[in-house]
Amino acid sequence: MPDAIQLSHVSKAFGSGDARTLALKDATFSAALGELHLVVGPSGCGKTTLLSVAAGTLAWDEGDVTVLGTRLNDLPQPKVTAFRRRHIGFIFQQFNLIPTLDLVENVSVPLLLNGRPRREAEERSAALLQRLGLGGRERKRPTQLSGGQQQRVAIARALVHEPPLLIADEPTSALDRETGHQIMEILSTAARSPNRCVVIVTHDPRTYAYADRLTEMEDGRIAGVHQGQVLQNFIASHH
Amino acid sequence: MFHLALRMLLGDRAKYLMLVGGLTFSALLMTQQNAVFQGLLSWTTSHMRNMRAPIWVVEGRVQQVNETKALRDTDVNRVRSVTGVDFAMPLFQGVLKARATDGSEKLIQMIGLHAGTLFGRPARMLSGNIEQLRVANAVVIDELAAERLGRAPAPGQAPRPLAVGDVFEINDREARVVGLCRTERHFFGYPYVFSTYDQALQFAPRQRKMLSMILASPRPGVPAEVAAAHIEAETGLKAYTVPEFERSTLDWIWKNTGIPASFMTTILLGFIVGVAIAGQTFYSFVLENLRNLGALKAMGASNGLLSAMLLLQAFTVGLVGYGIGLGLTALFGLAVSQGGQPPFLLQPAAVLRTLVAILIICFLAALLGIRKVAKLEPAIVFRG
Ligand SMILES: Nc1ncnc2c1ncn2[C@@H]1O[C@H](COP(=O)(O)OP(=O)(O)OP(=O)(O)O)[C@@H](O)[C@H]1O
Ligand SMILES: [Mg+2]
């Protein structure tokens, strides 16, 4: 399967002097279209940093980053922004829905950013909310919903412009077990229909079973990449 | 996205009201103070509009129309003989004490006009006849004088203004009202009482020199400034055309009184209050929305778009606040236009200047947010 994300020998440091932290150390990572790819590891090991670099929201120090065939190294900042706008859907741990906007308005943002007319944007958003089980709540505010419902709105927002790459940082950590499973089901479906690359950073071993591939990180390095039987063994050892 | 920017702004009721309130206050302070100031400035030259003379001849040191330094009686004839001068008439003006019909003392602006021509006569008579001024002890008074010198028919009742035929005293001399006229309020705030020049000298306390000013007019076809220049050259007196005297009067006010400075201070304060409230509130609005703005940035909103959204939000509260502020100023103006006090002159230029000031305030407020957003790393939204 073609690579959606290709990081090779990427390093990233925060701060300087004594406060300098190497968040990524010579990390090489890839994720493919059509797969749900988990990134796991202990807190502070660099998962979010890896994801941010891959999503083009964070500048890195060394190495090459190619996303969906575009080498981000060579791209000026406004082009990177435009690239994110068209090709990437984002799901955040804290949902990050805008509290003063209703659900349809929240979901319509990526379409509006891509220049779609307001009417079309709202119709498509409402239809997607409906499909994700939020029909009839379109004009509610995010704060009137439960955490799981809010995360579904966030997923709708990430998918509404049908980006080939979906990026999620700890999408289930703020949710209870049952809701977490529902969210993973939706994301896992999103990875397959149509072919899409879904990269999820997670702490949560209960989500491991949804992975097609799993990258393990440790202290800024890639500690291992598991799939197939090895992945099954890894999952078993973490239950 | 712009409709969402407005929704985000209106969604934060408290900040929205705070912003609009602050900018309303600022706009109100700026326009209202400016209008009162301009009104006051217009009073400083109202005397010229009341007298309507094209050339004002005064003692050499006089810089403004509300100041009198007496001339010699012979000066009138000297001015009359200047080339280019059609005619020149003496004018007496002085603040005198009058006794109202209820016995109280009031200050009045006494004007003595040349008896033959009554040059400088009020533009608008409301009742009576100005020609009657030539009768002994006759005066024509303006509405303010009629009101101030009037008497209540019975205790506790509203005073009845003086009317034609009524009598009062100026400096213990009887004055008989033969006409009522309309004037623009004098800078000193005293009501106008017109009489002939010679009659005015009877009312006024005797002094060595009594001629206050000479009102002159150029010959047909001679521009006023040319005639004025001739007068100055040939008599050594100061001769002002109307625009010159207005400018000189305003200059004098700016240089010699604290009036402009105090108004400017208040207007500046309005601006600073606007900057402080709008800047502070808008910045905290941006800070509170930083995660949302970061999320928008991650999703691909450019700095340009986010800046435009912030500008739209800032200008929206600015225009709403400006509109309300201007409305309140107009209401204030309407209220005082009945009483004629304080002075009030709302000029289109001032209205426009306030708009520009408010837009600058909003631009500055938005700029703080724009700087913050430009530096914002979209990656922050991934952090807890
Ligand atoms: N903006 C930053 N400034 C300074 N240090 C940072 C910054 N972001 C991350 N770090 C540091 O880089 C390292 C990796 O951080 P990162 O957030 O990528 O880890 P993580 O695996 O996502 O952790 P967690 O599971 O707790 O979210 C950590 O030591 C962190 O303190
Ligand atoms: Mg993290």
pLDDT per position as a tens digit, A90-119: 998 788 899 999 999 999 999 999 999 999
Of B182-196, B275-289, B339-353, give the lowest mean pLDDT range.
Answer: B339-353
List domains and CATH numbers for chain A: 3-96+165-237 (3.40.50.300)
According to the model, what pLDDT value does residue B20 have?
93
What residues of A are in contact with residue B300 (Cβ under 8 Å)? 81-86, 88, 110, 113-114
According to the model, what pLDDT value does residue B384 have?
58
Instruction: Give which of A50, A84, A87, A100 to mutate to test B binding, by max B Cβ within 10 Å.
Output: A100
Q: What are phi and psi of B73, to 5 degrees?
A: -55, -30
**Does B125 reach chain A within 8 Å, measured CB to CB?**
no
B300/A86 CB distance under 8 A: yes
In sequence order, what are the beta bridge partners of A166?
A89, A198
Both tokens of B247, joined, read 């400018």
Angstrom CA distances, B47 to A192, B38, B68, B94, stand at 88, 16, 13, 12
CB B181 within 8 A of CB B144: no
pLDDT, one tens digit per residue, over B28-73 is 999 988 888 888 888 899 999 999 999 999 999 999 998 889 999 9
- Find where tokens 């063994």 sit: A233
Where do the structural domains in chain B lie, given as residue ranges?
2-43+258-382, 72-236
Q: Which of A58, A93, A100 sits opposite B384 (nearest CB)?
A: A93
Both tokens of B39, joined, read 């009104």
Q: Which helix (H) or strand (E) holds B58?
A: strand B55-58
A90/B299 CB distance under 8 A: yes
State how beta strands A3-14 and A21-32 pair: antiparallel
CB B53 within 8 A of CB B119: yes
Helix (H, G, I), strand (E, B) or coil at B137: coil
pTM of the model: 0.82
| Sequence-ordered alpha helix ranges (H) in B45-111 | 46-51, 75-80
- What angle (nearest 5°) sits at the alpha carbon of residue B170, between those of residues B88 and B212? 25
DSSP state at residue B87: E
A109/B377 CB distance under 8 A: no
Q: What is the whole-number distance in angstroms between the Cα of residue A47 and the centre of ligand 1?
A: 8
User: Which of A45, A172, A199, A222 has the most ligand 1 atoms within 8 A of CB, as the residue to mutate?
Assistant: A45
Instruction: Convert A61-95 into a string of H (helix), E (strand) and C (coil).
Output: CEEEEEECCEEHHHCCHHHHHHHHHHHEEEECCCC
Q: What is the whole-number distance in angstroms between the Cα of residue A169 and the centre of ligand 2?
A: 7
State how beta strands B173-182 and B138-142 pair: parallel
**Does B262 reach chain A within 8 Å, measured CB to CB?**
no
pLDDT at residue B234 greater than cutoff 90: yes
Confidence of residue B346 (pLDDT cuts 50, 70, 90): confident
CB B214 within 8 A of CB B52: no
Q: Which ipTM did the prediction report?
A: 0.90
DSSP state at residue B345: -
According to the model, what pLDDT value does residue A1 have?
56
pLDDT, one tens digit per residue, over B128-178 is 999 999 999 999 999 999 999 987 777 777 778 999 999 999 999 999 999
B7/A105 CB distance under 8 A: yes
Sign of CA dihedral B126, B53, B188, B58: negative
B382/A113 CB distance under 8 A: no
Measured by CA distance, the residue closest to atom 25 of ligand 1 is A43
**Does A144 reach chain B within 8 Å, measured CB to CB?**
no
- Find where tokens 């969906």 sit: A68
CB A236 within 8 A of CB A40: no
CB A68 within 8 A of CB A164: yes
Pocket of ligand 1 (CB under 6 A): A 14-15, 21, 23, 41, 43-49, 203
pLDDT at residue B341 greater than cutoff 80: no
pLDDT at residue A76 greater than cutoff 80: yes
**Given the CA of residue A42, which atom of ligand 1 is nearest to it?**
25
- Find where tokens 């406060």 sit: A19
B381/A55 CB distance under 8 A: no
Q: What is the mean pLDDT of residues A149-158?
A: 91
Q: What is the mean pLDDT of residues B265-286?
A: 88
Strands (E), B222-334: 238-241
Instruction: Give which of A77, A87, A94, A167 to mutate to test B binding, by max B Cβ within 10 Å.
Output: A94
